[in-house]
A and B are shown apart, each in its own frame.
Chain A
Amino acid sequence: MPIEHRGSSDEAKLIARSLAQDPDAFGQLVERYATVIVNLAYRMVGDRTEAEDLAQETFVAAFKSLPAFRAESKFSTWLYRIAANKCKDWLRAKRPGQAVHDVDGEDVLDDRVVEERTPERLLSQQQVAEQLGGAIQRLPPLYREAFVLKHVEGLSYEEMQEILGVKTDTLKMRVYKGRLQLSRELAELKEV
């Protein structure tokens, strides 16, 4: 679900006051975007405590680099960018030797035709949510990042391009492949 762009002038005032070292103003910005950033981090790293830590680091980094924020771009876009980089750095550190490399040239998905399988039984909504959450964690980081921004955060491909600095065609392919992998995993889980 996309972030509501609540009154750009209101947000501009909060940013201006934050630049003037007004902690109350920046506190309001944190409160406004905390849920979004925490959820992005959670879907990226899969751990609630780590997600909150990464989200806090995101806001601290945002505050310190606030003088570099360009008013013509959206504050949320800028926050997303910082958060995405923090999450990738965390993933990189947790899995040394396994770089968050570009998987776009690879075909990491199984070509099995799973659409022929039909569900034997229905899973409960909670079970589906848990299984889907786990499956998202098993996506390659770049697919995961694109899928989460697109379908968890509800961003457009243009917004994602601005955040990640990646062309929309490449982002679309990453999302497509993420969907495919997830649909196959869900289909397999329903078979169990």
Chain B
Amino acid sequence: MDERDILIQRFLDDDLTPKERAAFLQAVDADPLLRRRWLNLELVVAETAQLPRLAPSSRFVAQVLTQLAPAPISPWARLRAALTVPRTLEWNLAGAMAMVCVAVVAVVGLLRLAPDRIVEVPVPVAGSQAQTASLAPGQGAKVFVRFMLLQPGARSVSVAGDFNGWDPGQTKLEQSEGGVWTAMIALKPGRYQYMFVIDGKQWIPDPLAIDGAGDGFGAQNAVLDVAI
């Protein structure tokens, strides 16, 4: 491009000083060739400004947003989100009062029903004073009886008597601190004889039993009376 071309381009860019602009217009007026060059370029600029503008398709925005949508989440993630998402409960006074009434009826009903299901029964402890325990009446009015023996040196202690067919393997006592062995079993009211079995072989009577009876073998069985 020569100097005059550059001058025309600067004129089209509105990049001339007022003095330069005046000089250019005078030159254009005096020079038909320059004038033609300038008009051809002006035409390009003017025609370009009139080019039709495309309108994006009606779905353009929706299609862009679809591409931005987050990836689908797994059913487990969706379930976890549904269970843990904080929710706002909407309520009104009538609904709240209805819920309160339902709650009151439920609590009163439970209180009226529940005590009938509980029976206070004294629990005699073999060799000691009886202690109170609770049991359900549906179990044939049994009484819980606690057997206790102090035997620090024993490896195992069990109780055998009328109530378990004199089988020392059925009712084993548990050891606690200080060599105290205990077991709690439910017995129907009645009179029972029993003995403790030490290490599976040594049969001894309950040293704390109030009553006793001969066993027919020269030894003494402990006697327990269970009553409601």
Quick check: is A88 within 8 A (CB to CB) of the other chain?
no
Interface string of A171-184 (1 = CB under 8 A from B): 01001110110110
- Determine, out of B18-26, B51-59, B126-134, the stretch whose residues face the partner at the interface: B51-59
Neighbour of B45 across the interface among A52, A118, A151, CB < 8 A: A151
Q: How far is the CB of B7 from chain A (nearest CB, A)?
A: 11
Neighbour of B5 across the interface among A48, A51, A176, CB < 8 A: A176
Let me know if B64 and A56 touch, CB within 8 A. yes
Let me know if A60 and B9 touch, CB within 8 A. no
- Determine, out of A6-14, A26-34, A69-77, the stretch whose residues face the partner at the interface: A26-34
Q: A115-B33, A180-B41 are in contact. Are A59 and B56 (CB under 8 A)?
A: no
Interface size grouping (class) on chain B = 20 to 34
Interface size grouping (class) on chain A = 35 or more
Let me know if A182 and B68 touch, CB within 8 A. no
Let me know if A56 and B9 touch, CB within 8 A. no
Q: A179-B44, A183-B41 are in contact. Are A52 and B51 (CB under 8 A)?
A: no
Let me know if A34 and B61 touch, CB within 8 A. yes
- Complex: how many Å from CA A43 to CA B51? 10
Q: Which of A21-61 contact B (CB under 8 A)?
A: 23, 26-27, 30-31, 34-35, 38-39, 42-43, 48, 51-52, 55-56, 59-60
- Complex: how many Å from CA A151 to CA B65? 30
- Complex: how many Å from CA A123 to CA B68? 45
Neighbour of A129 across the interface among B13, B33, B47, B63, CB < 8 A: B47
Q: Is the interface of B mostly helix, strand, loop or mixed?
A: helix
Let me know if A38 and B60 touch, CB within 8 A. yes
Let me know if B48 and A39 touch, CB within 8 A. no
Q: Which of B12, B64, B68, B69 has the most CB of A within 10 A?
A: B64
Let me know if A132 and B53 touch, CB within 8 A. no
Quick check: is A108 within 8 A (CB to CB) of the other chain?
no
Quick check: is A133 within 8 A (CB to CB) of the other chain?
yes
Name A64's closest neighbour in chain B (CB-CB).
B68
Neighbour of A39 across the interface among B54, B61, B69, CB < 8 A: B54
Let me know if B65 and A30 touch, CB within 8 A. yes
- Complex: how many Å from CA A1 to CA B9? 19
- Complex: how many Å from CA A151 to CA B13? 10
- Complex: how many Å from CA A56 to CA B65? 9
- Residues in A with CB closer than 8 Å to B9 are 172, 175-176, 179
Q: Is the interface of A mostly helix, strand, loop or mixed?
A: helix
Let me know if A115 and B54 touch, CB within 8 A. no
Q: A129-B50, A133-B51, A179-B45 are in contact. Are A56 and B12 (CB under 8 A)?
A: no
Name B9's closest neighbour in chain A (CB-CB).
A176
- Residues in B with CB closer than 8 Å to A172 are 9, 13
- Residues in A with CB closer than 8 Å to B65 are 23, 26-27, 30
- Complex: how many Å from CA A1 to CA B53? 10
Q: How far is the CB of A142 from chain B (nearest CB, A)?
A: 17
- Complex: how many Å from CA A30 to CA B41? 35
- Residues in A with CB closer than 8 Å to B44 are 132, 179, 182-183, 186
- Residues in B with CB closer than 8 Å to A152 are 48, 51
Q: Which residues of B contact A (CB under 8 A)?
A: 1, 5-6, 9, 12-13, 33, 36-37, 40-41, 43-45, 47-57, 60-61, 63-65, 67-69
The 5 closest A-B pairs by CB, nearest first: A115-B36, A115-B37, A183-B40, A176-B9, A34-B56
